Amino acid sequence: MKAVATVRRAPPGVILAEISGYDAADIDVMEGLEAVRMRPGMYIGSTGPRGLHHLVYEVVDNSIDEALAGFCDTVHVHLYPDGGVSVADNGRGIPIDIHPDLGISAVEVVMTILHAGGKFGGAGYGVSGGLHGVGVSVVNALSKRLVAEVCRGGGLYRMSFHDGGVPEGRLERVGDTSETGTTVTFWPDPAIFENREYDYDVLSRRLRELAFLNRGVMIRVTDGRTEDGLHQGFRFDGGISDFVAHLNSSKDPIHRAIVFFSESRMREGVSVPDEVEVALQWNAGYQNNVYSFANTINTHEGGVHEEGFRAALTYTLNAYARTHNFLKDRDQNFTGDDCREGLTAIVSVKLANPQFEGQTKTKLGNTEMKGFVQKAVNDHLADWLDQHPAEAKIIIEKCKLAAQGRLAAKRARDLTRRKSVFDGSGLPGKLVDCTSRNPAECELFIVEGDSAGGSAVKARDARTQAILPIRGKILNVEKSNLERSLRNTEIQSIISATGAGIGEDFDISKIRYHKLVTLADADVDGSHIRTLLLTFFFRYLPEIVEAGYVYAAQPPLYGQKIGNVIHYLHSDRELEVLRVENAGRRMPPAQRFKGLGEMDYEELWDTTMDPEKRILRRVTIEDAAMADEIFSTLMGDDVEVRKEFIRANAGDVRFLDI
């Protein structure tokens, strides 16, 4: 688009366009896939690792839509050494005939035209996750090269594209086959994506999640970049019940899973029924994890289906407890938080014409689904509780303990508030605050130890950087309830310093810093402290993480002097590369930083705190279920599960600091 060079306020009676040089000729219409390449973030979220992996998900979602339609039971994702990725399925295959209005093959239409597909009118797909019809065309737009192969009607057809979706020719029949299906192979464009290295673990976890949500469908992933061709296949005939069992595998379930499938109803104006599947199971822990999906899309922002589930859960448990005299006080009720403490649940709905908020599809808005899910959960959960009185009693007792903990936590919060009033500040005594009162520019460094905290205080920019020293390792909140956590002095200090509160008092608009930075030593102990802090933020202040306010500083591990210049390095690999690049030059032994306290404050500023030079890693939650699984494994009580995780991932550890 052409930019207007100057913008002035129009004098009375003068048309603005006449003085700005802006008329109809200045309006450009971007054709084809040009708009995607111009603003890729609008379509895939970012051009970083998240957007790169999203390309794969867009293609896989098309295959899953074939599975939802009942025409596909196998999907295979393959990573190639040259950076290419292929997604193959045994569905019906993209139609190969000529589109009656456009005069080109349906394959070319799907690959090159936004908002084109078989998911709008309902004839091709009754239920679909790829609602907006921009999936594979966006992948084509952001690829250096893409090849589409279709097996359909006895033939194998191929069409290739280059440089953002430019056809290399028309669709051609290149062979015969009795199979059906579609294979899309693409190479992300280096002009769009600086980093084109796919993370096998990230992809495999998402594919495993899709297999849980589509019971009976086999989803395979192969990493052809490794010598042994790392390969996994996921198929779960139990569907979401297997999903809940997997998520609770590192926890301590207190009863058998409650599962009900395929509650359905017909809605006027649509040809396929709405369906809801729910699986839930309480464990002995304190965290609640409710994950919702619509047409297999992870609605991590929730929506009406999740609202219906939460309302039904609270109502049904209260009704059962009152009917069976577990609640004797007429004014006593379990809150939603009481009912969900220690709960792991999956709520999956399938419906025609889903209404998602935006292309990222993170929140479901079909209002009619709230009552549908609510009634289904009310009926089925009430029946299950009546039929399993012994397990129902265990669940209700769990809710009662949660209610007692909630009241104790409230008393602890009240005590903290009263202390703040009496000491006149409301801020922890060790906090060295910054002078700015603009949260958008303020940073809070949470530093382990008084020694490192002292260096950080001397090094900081006093206008925008605040320092909060903490003593040792904070409480592992994975093994503690909110009441016990609130009694921990270090956690109290963090909550007071951030200013947003916690639990019922939480208000993100009151947060005092838009960067909360964990600053710990570059060794194993430092990593443990960082993990404890991140566990606290993830479990009790997830809104702060989701807002993008939590960061991890990356202090250097080595300082290598070459001539008069000191090079700061963050790993053994970086040190090795530097030495190879400077082979033949005399270099003293590298300085190994065992802790932040060993650095003088000038070094700490230059390497870790200077906004112009430092490395900060923003902590994000791409997939809440994946994050819950990792935190539960690493920080929970099950030692065997943790050992198995370490054994399984030991081969991926390149730089071990012991």
* Residue in the structure block whose two tokens are 């609770």: 248
How far apart are the C-alpha atoms of 556 and 571, rounded to whole Å?
Answer: 8
Catalytic residue among 521, 603, 628, 629: 521
Residue in 301, 379, 441, 525 annotated catalytic: 525
Task: For tokens 């005069």, name the residue.
Answer: 103
> What are the two backbone dihedrals, phi and then psi, of residue 495, each rounded to the nearest 5 degrees?
-65, -45
Q: What is the CA radius of gyration of the chain?
A: 28
Q: Of the candidates 153, 198, 202, which has an alpha carbon nearest to the alpha carbon of residue 180?
A: 153
Alpha-carbon span 476 to 488, nearest angstrom: 10
| Catalytic residue (one of 108, 306, 337, 448) | 448
What torsion, rounded to 10 degrees, do the Cα atoms 376, 378, 382, 384 define? Answer: 30
Q: At how many degrees (to 10) do helices 639-649 and 624-635 cross?
A: 110
CB 68 within 8 A of CB 128: yes
Residue 523 is among the residues annotated as catalytic for this protein: yes
Record the tokens describing residue 178, joined without a space.
């009795």
The tokens describing 352, both together, are 């025609």
Query: In b/e form, how buried is each residue of 37-58, taking b as 16+ CB within 10 angstroms?
Result: beebeebbeebebebbbbbbbb
Contact at 8 Å (CB) between 18 and 27? no
> In a 3-state reduction of DSSP, which class is residue 519?
strand
What are the beta bridge partners of residue 282? 343
Catalytic residue chosen out of the listed positions 379, 391, 523, 572? 523
Quick check: 207 and 623 in contact, CB under 8 A?
Answer: no
- Half-sphere exposure for 520 (CA within 13 Å, toward CB): 22
525 an active-site residue?
A: yes
What is the secondary structure of 416-429 as a DSSP string? HHHHHHHHSS-S-T
Residues with a known catalytic role: 448, 521, 523, 525
